[in-house]
Amino acid sequence: MNMLESLQSKDTMIPEKYRQMSREELEERVRFAKDHLGKRLFIPGHHYQKDEVIQFADATGDSLQLAQLSASNREAEYIVFCGVHFMAETADILTSKHQKVFLPDLRAGCSMADMADSSQLERAWQKLGEQFGNTIIPLTYVNSTAAIKAFVGKNGGATVTSSNAENMLKWAFTQKERVLFLPDQHLGRNSAFHLGVPLDEMAVWDPIKDELIFDGPTDQIKVILWKGYCSVHENFTVENVKQVREQYPEMNIIVHPECRREVVALADDAGSTRHIIETIKHAKKGSSWAIGTEMNLVKRLINENPDKHIISLNPHMCPCLTMNRIDLPHLAWCLDSIVETGSHNEIKVEEQIADDAILALNRMLARA
Ligand code: 13P
Ligand code: SF4
């Protein structure tokens, strides 16, 4: 069954009874499944997950940590991934054959990952190859489908995450003269700029129009940025930064590097979810922070750091709707089904794709 077929299947619609259950009953069911399955079950949770879910995670992390955890866990038979689809695919690729990965709600995708598909990438690669010859290495953000990772792996490239993008770019430039960075133009631009690549040496590839956007002599292009973005992080604007600076001059601004270049340039700091958490945790008592990242994480940081003044950089808070699809009812339903049948919303990457994608992931993990 492909993704579309499984989404249309009745089995992927949560039974009404889970919607009617009280929070206590749902939590009881999760606790029962965890006790019953013991070490056979492992629940990794991304930092953007809701508190009602994250309270049951066996480990939490940013994308890099979650990939590392998947690569090192050989014990759990059932991995119930509380995150989005590309993270569950990555876990399936990195775990052994006897381990099964499940996503509590198959609708938990990532709109950014959907902005690059294999046929678009094949066309781009062909056209860019005609223009630049064999001078380009592809790097893909882990926020991409397994098929994109496979293409990148087959073509000598690697995956990156928000916590190692700069290092991976450094490595990529030891391999080839130019980098094609996909699908997030902002992470690519921010990381390359930090590394010292001037903005006028970066072009943008438009996968809808199949064209390169660049003003100037094309032989000076060092980085080609796929025209993708995160719809959550695009909501943090220069206007938000200005308002915070005006209203709270003492406030530190920290953002995720999926924010636009102009926002990152005006912020005091930028980094992965893990970097944001660590920075706030170790910040001085009484310090003030405006955070530019997903709402669940900002809310958790506010609750966990009562000794600091923390606000969202955008007063309208930005949720990741797909991350939010994983909720307590879906987690309880998934675990109940695993206890009963040993399966529920399994994420299984095709073998050939997994064999190529792991090349890209391993090149990253070897340098992480
Ligand atoms: P991190 O790797 O920083 O956790 O980010 C993942 C993500 O999807 C951010 O939008
Ligand atoms: Fe994808 Fe953005 Fe959600 Fe991260 S926050 S999972 S990049 S849509």
Ligand 2 center to residue 209 CA distance, Å? Answer: 24
Task: Assess whether 270 and 345 both reside in one domain.
Answer: no
Point out the ligand 1 atom lying closest to the alpha carbon of residue 272. 3
Say what the pLDDT of residue 9 is.
Answer: 56
Q: Does any domain span residue 364?
A: no
Task: Assess whether 10 and 66 both reside in one domain.
Answer: yes
Is there an atom of ligand 1 within 6 Å of 120 CB? no
Say what the pLDDT of residue 13 is.
Answer: 87
Task: Assess whether 219 and 144 both reside in one domain.
Answer: yes
Contact predicate 182/138, CB 8 Å: yes
Ligand 1 center to residue 63 CA distance, Å? Answer: 6
Instruction: Point out the domain boundary residue: 215, 230, 245.
Output: 230
Say what the pLDDT of residue 343 is.
Answer: 84
Task: Assess whether 12 and 84 both reside in one domain.
Answer: yes
Ligand 1 center to residue 279 CA distance, Å? Answer: 16
Is there an atom of ligand 1 within 6 Å of 143 CB? yes
In this structure, the chain runs to a length of 368
Contact predicate 203/231, CB 8 Å: no
Ligand 2 residue neighbourhood (C-beta within 6 Å): 84, 110-112, 143, 230-232, 258, 294, 320, 322-323
Is there an atom of ligand 1 within 6 Å of 162 CB? yes
Q: Does any domain span residue 368?
A: no
Domain count, the chain: 3
**Tokens standing for residue 80:** 């119930």
Say what the pLDDT of residue 4 is.
Answer: 52
Ligand 2 center to residue 109 CA distance, Å? Answer: 8
Task: Assess whether 197 and 251 both reside in one domain.
Answer: no
What is the C-alpha separation between 184 and 272, in angstroms, rounded?
14
Q: Does any domain span residue 290?
A: yes
* Average pLDDT, 10 consecutive residues per value, the chain (368 residues): 52 88 98 97 97 97 90 93 97 94 96 97 98 98 98 98 97 98 98 98 98 96 98 97 98 98 98 97 98 97 98 91 97 97 93 98 93
Specify the CATH number for the domain of residue 8: 3.40.50.10800
Contact predicate 81/102, CB 8 Å: yes
For residue 284, report the phi and psi dihedrals to the nearest 5 degrees.
-60, 140
Ligand 2 center to residue 302 CA distance, Å? Answer: 21
- The chain-wide mean pLDDT, for the chain, equals 95
In the block, tokens 């492992």 appear at 42
Is there an atom of ligand 1 within 6 Å of 272 CB? yes
Bridge partners, 223 (sequence order) = 179, 202
In this prediction the pTM is 0.95
Domain of 136 in residue numbering reads as 113-230
Ligand 1 center to residue 19 CA distance, Å? Answer: 29
Task: Assess whether 118 and 225 both reside in one domain.
Answer: yes
State how far Cα 216 lies from the chain centre. Answer: 33
